[in-house]
């Protein structure tokens, strides 16, 4: 069968065919991109809303941390004011010197005080811790009784474990004080 279409016309038809294929692919790609964008929109909006929510949560946490820090600062100021009051009270003449003098004056021979500790419980109360050695249980008990009889201490606490040995006793005493006496 003879070819009746001239060569020039064949080229035009072939170029039109190529243009149709390219335009078909381009339209297909555009439709695919458009469909992809449409299908991704819900997850995009969900991500945006989650991001906003997380930013709001971060702001709330920052505010709560600032609140806690300011509360902690207020507590520190309150404690500092308490200590200033205590120092002013000590400067006005109410000190533990008289208590220490009484402890030392009541110490009998045979009882040796190795260390003295002081702990301020609050504005009105304090504790003195004594650690030492006694040659006998009787000397230690006599010392504790003398401290109790002095009426300078609210409470004289001798742990029961200190009474276990008869001689060469290492002891610990806790003396509770009322600083307003």
pLDDT exceeds cutoff 90 at 162? no
The pLDDT, as a whole number, for residue 22 is: 95
Domain layout of the chain by residue ranges: 1-93, 97-178
**Percentage of the chain lying above the pLDDT 70 cut:** 92
The pLDDT, as a whole number, for residue 89 is: 64
70, two tokens: 């300011």
pLDDT digits (tens, 9 = 90+) for 51-72: 999 999 888 877 777 767 777 7
Contacts of residue 131, Cβ cutoff 8 Å, sequence gap at least 6: 113, 114, 115, 116, 117, 170, 171, 172, 173
Domain spanning 97-178: CATH superfamily: General secretion pathway protein M, EpsM (3.30.1360.100)
The pLDDT, as a whole number, for residue 91 is: 57
The secondary structure of residue 123, as a DSSP letter, is: S
Distance between CA atoms of residues 64 and 129, nearest Å: 42
pLDDT digits (tens, 9 = 90+) for 17-49: 999 999 999 999 999 999 999 999 999 999 999
The pLDDT, as a whole number, for residue 11 is: 93
The pLDDT, as a whole number, for residue 151 is: 85
The pLDDT, as a whole number, for residue 5 is: 82
| The model's pTM | 0.49
pLDDT exceeds cutoff 60 at 93? no
pLDDT exceeds cutoff 70 at 179? yes
Burial tier of 130 (Cβ tally within 10 Å: 0-12, 13-18, 19+): buried
The DSSP bridge pattern shows strands 111-120 and 167-178 to be unpaired
pLDDT exceeds cutoff 80 at 177? yes
The pLDDT, as a whole number, for residue 64 is: 76
């Amino acid at each position: 069968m003879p070819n009746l279409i001239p060569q020039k016309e064949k080229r035009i038809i072939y170029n039109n065919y190529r243009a149709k294929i390219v335009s078909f692919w381009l339209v297909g790609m555009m439709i695919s991109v458009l469909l992809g964008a449409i299908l991704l929109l819900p997850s995009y909006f969900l991500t945006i809303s989650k991001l906003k929510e997380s930013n709001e949560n971060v702001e709330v946490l920052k505010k709560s941390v600032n609140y806690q820090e300011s509360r902690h600062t207020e507590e520190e100021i309150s404690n500092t004011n308490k200590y200033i009051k205590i120092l002013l009270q000590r400067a006005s003449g109410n000190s533990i010197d008289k208590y220490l003098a009484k402890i030392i004056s009541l110490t009998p021979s045979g009882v040796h005080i190795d260390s003295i500790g002081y702990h301020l419980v609050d504005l009105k109360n304090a504790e003195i811790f004594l650690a030492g050695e006694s040659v006998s249980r009787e000397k230690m008990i006599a010392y504790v009784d003398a401290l109790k009889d002095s009426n300078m201490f609210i409470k004289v606490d001798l742990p029961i474990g200190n009474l276990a040995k008869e001689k060469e006793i290492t002891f610990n005493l806790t003396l509770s004080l009322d600083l307003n006496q």
